[in-house]
Amino acid sequence: MGKVGFCLAVSCAVASCAIAAILVSRRVKSRRKWNRVVGVLKELEEGCSTPVGRLRQIVDAMVVEMHAGLASEGGSKLKMLLTFIDKLPDGNEEGTYYALDLGGTNFRVLRVQLGGKESKIMGHKVESQPIPQHLMTSTSEDLFDFIASTLKEFVEREGDDYTVQLDRRRELGFTFSFPVKQLSVSSGVLIKWTKGFSIEDLVGKDVAECLQQALTKKGLHMRVAVLVNDTVGTLAVGHYDDDDTVAAVIIGTGTNACYVEQTDAIIKCQGLLTNSGGMVVNMEWGNFWSSHLPRTSYDMDLDADSPNPNDQAFEKMISGMYLGDIVRRVILRMAQESDILGDVPPRLTVPFILSTPLMAAMHEDESSDLTEVSRILKDTFEIDDVPLKGRKVIVRVCDVVTRRAARLVAAGIVGILKKIGRDGSGGVTGGRSKSIGEPSNKVRRTVVAIEGSLYSSYNMFREYLNEAVAEILGEEVAQHVVLKVTEDGPGIGAALLAAAYSSSNVASDNVTLL
């Protein structure tokens, strides 16, 4: 080999070594970055873990807080608001009733025709529209003007079937799904806003009175017969269909629960009531807090950035308004710590850009190459070409966040069952026997009505929730607990309650005393 040849060979060898070194170092770097992604995922999994032991601690904390909230106003972060609803519709109600449902993503107007014992709900009409974004932070006058105008248009479109009744005052149920301190079944003041609403001049005012004034101003001859929370409407519908229903849970934009509390428990706590039986209590469980809750740095950041920091901690870990954004925050951290998504995509930093339905769609993508995940990442964040292993990690993030949410709801439900002695532990906390002589430790069939798209339309969420209820209670007890989906429960239930508490019905006894 000549000198030139030798030099060439040496240069080639050096170059190959250099290239190999670069490749190795890139691979090492990329493995290191990938390890960071895996590290973020592992940390999330640990932070969100909900083994059954922890769920049981949450159940017990829920029971303790329920007692404390009932015992005194401000005694717990759980408000345990008395609703004054001490009777629920039982099927004898007759006539046409209206309802307005405000508090989720959509505003609904409903008309429900009740045919008495034989035909029960003969028909109902619902019109739904998204709440205009600007109204969520405007004035109470604008809000109620919008509500009354929408109702007026609805009534005017009804046609001849209903105009005959125009001379008769109609009864209306108002579902207003925010924390309200009830003064009676048909009046109550707003305590605070949740779920991104903030119309400051309404706080402390009687919400039903504001609505009544707006209706009168529009010339609508209607009486606000009941003011209820969406959980209470859902309980009314659940109980109307199945009188073993003792509680209702909402898992939608927000989350909350109500249940039938024995009045002697309330009397003992507050010395308030005179009748015996039960009363529906709106727990406002979205604000539940316990140190046992598996809270991560993502939850804390989301809370700090929210319009209501230090409020609604449970809701912020569970409901549809927030789950998508928790996932976005995790993906953002992964992008910041590695280059699996290239440079940090600017849209990934936009709060609430990833909605919970899109998150659910990624989670439930069953295609082998996760095409739906690719599409959503591209459409939402303008991220192209995420490798399959990156897409798999994102699906896993959705799974961890959803599973935690569903299992926390399960713990909340079992907390209620335990409080009313329906958890199979012997009824120590005041569950009623079906009939005198029935052994108190026999587990009765217990129905919990559930409304909200996270449970009704998100299969993985529903499966995780059902599975956790069975895990906490044990299969034997769990088979007596039925979680029943309602549809339009908040609105239809308000119409049913308007019928039960209508002026013509107030003195009658064709209702179930709780």
Site size with ligand GLC, rule: CB under 6 A: 18
Q: How far is the CB of 318 from ligand GLC (least distance, A)?
A: 10
Q: 340: which DSSP letter?
A: B
Phi, psi of 248 (to 5 degrees): -140, 145
Question: Is-contact 173 208, C-beta < 8 A?
Answer: no
The pattern of x and - marking residues 23 through 42 that bind ligand GLC according to CB under 6 A reads: --------------------
254 forms part of the interface with ligand GLC (CB under 6 A): yes
Residue nearest to ligand GLC (CB): 254
Q: Which of 448, 450, 456 is nearest to 357 (CA)?
A: 456
Q: How far is the CB of 125 from ligand GLC (least distance, A)?
A: 22
How far is 454 from 322, CA to CA, in rounded Å?
12
Per CB under 6 A, which region of 53-61, 250-258, 268-276, 331-339 contacts ligand GLC? 250-258
List strands edge to edge, sheet with 245-251: 81-82, 278-282, 255-262, 245-251, 446-451, 481-485
Q: How far is the CB of 136 from ligand GLC (least distance, A)?
A: 13
Candidate list 175, 177, 262, 446; residue touching ligand GLC; CB under 6 A: 177
Question: Is-contact 110 491, C-beta < 8 A?
Answer: yes
Q: How far is the CB of 255 from ligand GLC (least distance, A)?
A: 6
Q: How far is the CB of 104 from ligand GLC (least distance, A)?
A: 6
Closer to ligand GLC by Cβ: residue 299 or 315: 315
Q: Where are the alpha helices (DSSP H) in 157-255?
A: 160-163, 207-217, 230-241
Closer to ligand GLC by Cβ: residue 77 or 195: 195
Phi, psi of 310 (to 5 degrees): 65, 10
- Window 316 to 375, contacts with ligand GLC (CB under 6 A): none
489 forms part of the interface with ligand GLC (CB under 6 A): no
238 forms part of the interface with ligand GLC (CB under 6 A): no
Closer to ligand GLC by Cβ: residue 79 or 328: 79
Q: How far is the CB of 338 from ligand GLC (least distance, A)?
A: 36
Candidate list 229, 262, 429, 502; residue touching ligand GLC; CB under 6 A: 229
Going by DSSP bridges, is the β-strand pair 255-262/170-176 parallel, antiparallel, or unpaired? unpaired
How far is 257 from 238, CA to CA, in rounded Å?
13
Side chain identity at residue 117, one-letter code: K
256 forms part of the interface with ligand GLC (CB under 6 A): yes
Instruction: Provide the β-strand partners of residue 189.
Output: 181, 206
Q: How far is the CB of 511 from ligand GLC (least distance, A)?
A: 23
- What are the distances in angstroms from CA 440 to CA 161, 422, 428? 51, 10, 9
Candidate list 103, 324, 427, 489; residue touching ligand GLC; CB under 6 A: 103
471 forms part of the interface with ligand GLC (CB under 6 A): no
Q: What is the largest CA-CA distance in the chain?
A: 116
How far is 325 from 331, CA to CA, in rounded Å?
10
Question: Is-contact 296 44, C-beta < 8 A?
Answer: yes
How far is 513 from 278, CA to CA, in rounded Å?
7
250 forms part of the interface with ligand GLC (CB under 6 A): yes
Candidate list 50, 76, 194, 356; residue touching ligand GLC; CB under 6 A: 194
Per CB under 6 A, which region of 106-114, 223-231, 371-379, 396-404 contacts ligand GLC? 223-231
Q: How far is the CB of 112 from ligand GLC (least distance, A)?
A: 20
Closer to ligand GLC by Cβ: residue 94 or 315: 315
SS3 content of the chain, % helix, strand, coil (to 5): 50, 20, 35
429 forms part of the interface with ligand GLC (CB under 6 A): no
179 forms part of the interface with ligand GLC (CB under 6 A): yes
How far is 144 from 219, CA to CA, in rounded Å?
14
Per CB under 6 A, which region of 22-30, 129-137, 251-259, 288-296 contacts ligand GLC? 251-259
Q: Which of 422, 80, 89 is nearest to 256 (CA)?
A: 80
Candidate list 93, 206, 230, 299; residue touching ligand GLC; CB under 6 A: 230
How far is 15 from 19, CA to CA, in rounded Å?
6
Q: Where do we find the tokens 């659940």?
A: 238
- Window 270 to 299, contacts with ligand GLC (CB under 6 A): 284, 286
Per CB under 6 A, which region of 173-181, 219-227, 339-347, 432-440 contacts ligand GLC? 173-181
CA torsion angle for 410, 411, 412, 415 (degrees, to 10)? 120
Angle of helix 388-419 relative to helix 323-337, nearest 10 degrees, comes to 140
488 forms part of the interface with ligand GLC (CB under 6 A): no
Closer to ligand GLC by Cβ: residue 37 or 62: 62
| Site residues, ligand GLC (CB under 6 A) | 103-104, 177-179, 194-195, 229-231, 250, 252, 254-256, 284, 286, 315
